[in-house]
Structure 1
């Protein structure tokens, strides 16, 4: 499939990433606490609702993971999972180290719940193994849980595709297995917050994305696209009928939009813009870096700026722009070199075109 059909992914990642940055600025404060009396509805919306953009990321993650795994025979699932771990963890741990330093700096200027205590060795090791939520350790950065869940979801999808590949009819068995696990997630696990440290809670969104890839793949005929799109609608519709969840509505809408756009049936304004492509490319880096950057800016404006809405509004804008700038620098000087190093270590040429992170 030509990469031009994937440009919508960059636009969606750019929008979702910025919503997450603004959500954390509104949710954690304290700069936005001064803005709330002036614009309570805006701050309240970003604080309470913008976080559901994470489920657009989860859906796109499932889409890209299915696409990536479709290009290989998943006959060695442990090796595929290890490759994913090596790709995710080095930039993630670099961002965690930055977050620890940011918390130490911010603690000099303010006292706030968003500042993490210096990590213990066990806490740091749990983050490196992506087990912090499972083991009950406090997260060292706001985005750390997502990386751990993404890894679990990729491992689960890899396992399902490996099981499907052992059958004689893997071309249809894979969507059936993924659809079944997707249904279990949407109709059972996602209704119970006790599961929110585990992949089954989030696999509904991720699985809808994987099904969207198979529906969007132009190597499959139009009948397959219709059947798979119908399965997406059925699963999402049943989940929303059982209990309406805005996060599932976002995942369903994202999955259907990906199918329509990649099949060339719709085009969103700005999806071909260079800015959207660039912001989409650096979205993972911005996601990793925005919290420590915002934390330091919040602390600086708490300590040195007047406690007036106008001054604190300037701080919010600065934190937003600084998060994008830090993400761009991190992408260029940390994420890309570490990814290239991981690729060369396993004898693989650096990927071209659409990123699969």
Structure 2
């Protein structure tokens, strides 16, 4: 390895990143885009004729990449709320508001983009655009309650954004309960993760087997809790024993009711734990590779890609339908074009919408405006 390739000579931001997490997020986001391209529109219909096995695989298994997002979401949230295993720091309302703001501002921007594109492509793709839009439906999306209240989603993946907030709120609540207990600090630091394990097991063994609960966090907390426990187990000596016990618990869940998504969540958690351990000892598999900046880029823009790809895919599908091509290879070129354009669109979306949304201090601003309005 040349001196230029040595980890110490990498750009500081690359050194500080969890590149293995970036790689997993980036791959999962790409699979979600390809899954939606295999599920909606004339491109999917045309390619299903010439590449039926590929399109069938993307349709049935591409969507399972969301389990990777769930596990990683739990891991990153636990890491943010309890980096060294300490008790929860900060005020719960502030933490929850910041999470909501980081999610809802880019999400609503993506909803607006989708609605504008839907109005444009409606003559060619009437089956892919909302039949009607109401103010209560928009407000339900803005509060991330559309699934709970039974409103039709205005863009694909809307359910995941709402569930992400619910899962974070549930994790936050469990850690807050542990912090409030009148017990020694050392005990409360153990009780927090213990509560997470209990709710995780309840999800895996019971709630995740009830399809009617798929608008609620308890349905998905099994995968999310696995990710959180990967973080906490990485802070103790007996990590392997802890992972073995978690694996046994998941295997019991699979015996009760075999679910491929749960098996994938377990596999993701074990891979994440192994890669995280290598990261701790300075042996990250990706740090020395020239592809590290690209991996960091894909991880950084994964959420933006998740949000922005559907209006791009609608546009390309509408153009494909308008031209009405006769050859299957043209459908393949259309799919690749939609995929590439989605990745390109994620860059300005992240730079101009997602990143500023994370820095914006909206609550103090709203408080000042309300104070001025009351004094007027």
One fold, TM greater than 0.5?
yes
Alpha carbons of 1:268 and 1:21: their partners in 2 closer, same or farther (altered >3 Å)? farther
Matches within 5 A, 1:271-350: 273-342=292-361
Alpha carbons of structure 1 residues 212 and 315: separation in structure 2 relative to 1, 3 Å: same
Q: 5 Å matches for 1:93-112? A: 93-112=108-127
Distance 1:199 1:267, change over 3 A: same
Aligned counterparts of 1:42 and 1:189: Cα–Cα separation in 2: 32
1:143 positional shift: 1.2
5+ unaligned residues in a row in structure 2: which ranges? 1-13, 366-376
Matched, 1:150 2:169: no
Aligned counterpart for 2:55 among listed residues 43, 46, 59: 43
Distance change >3 Å, CA 44–CA 87, structure 1 → 2: same
When Rg is computed on C-alpha atoms for both structures, the one with the higher figure is 2
- Residue 202, structure 1, aligned to residue 220, structure 2: yes
Match of 1:136 among 135, 150, 163: 150
Root-mean-square deviation (Å): 2.1
Counting only pairs closer than 5 Å after superposition, residues 196-235 of structure 1 correspond to structure 2 as 196-216=214-234, 220-223=235-238, 225-235=239-249
Query: Does 2:189 match 1:171?
Result: yes
Instruction: Name the SS for the 2:156 alignment partner.
Output: coil
Count of residues in correspondence between the two structures: 340
Partner of 1:261: 275
- CA deviations 1:231-277 (Å, max 9, x no partner) are 32122221122222111111111111111111118855669622111
What TM-score do the two structures reach when normalised by structure 1? 0.90
- CA gap of 1:344–1:85, structure 2 versus 1, over 3 A, is closer
Secondary structure in 2 matching 1:264: helix
Structure 2: distance between partners of 1:271 and 1:205: 32
Structure 2 Cα separation of the partners of residues 157 and 329 of structure 1:
32
Deviations 1:294-322 (A, max 9, x none): 01110111012414212121111111011
8 Å contact 1:96–1:141 — kept in the other structure? yes
Judge conservation of contact 2:223–2:262 (CA < 8 Å) in 1: yes
Name the counterpart of 2:5: none
- Taking the TM superposition and a 5 Å limit, the aligned residue runs for 1:76-115 are 76-112=91-127, 114-115=128-129
Distance (Å, rounded) in 2 between the aligned partners of 1:246 and 1:5: 30
Say if 1:212 and 1:232, in contact at 8 Å, map to a contact too.
no
Q: Which residue of 1 aligns with 2:32?
A: 20
Tell me what 2:211 maps to.
Answer: 193
SS of corresponding position for 1:263: helix
Give the alignment partner of residue 125 of structure 1, picking from 111, 121, 139. Answer: 139
Which of residues 196, 199, 212 is equivalent to 1:181? 199
Take 1:231 and 1:155, find their aligned partners in 2: how far apart are those partners?
26
Report the Cα offset of residue 116 of structure 1: 1.7
For 2:145 and 2:363, how far apart are their aligned partners in 1? Answer: 27
Q: 1:3 to 1:254 in 2, by over 3 A?
A: farther
Mapped contact 1:16–1:57 kept (Cα < 8 A): yes
Within a 5 Å distance, the mapping from 1:27-38 to structure 2 comes to 27-38=39-50
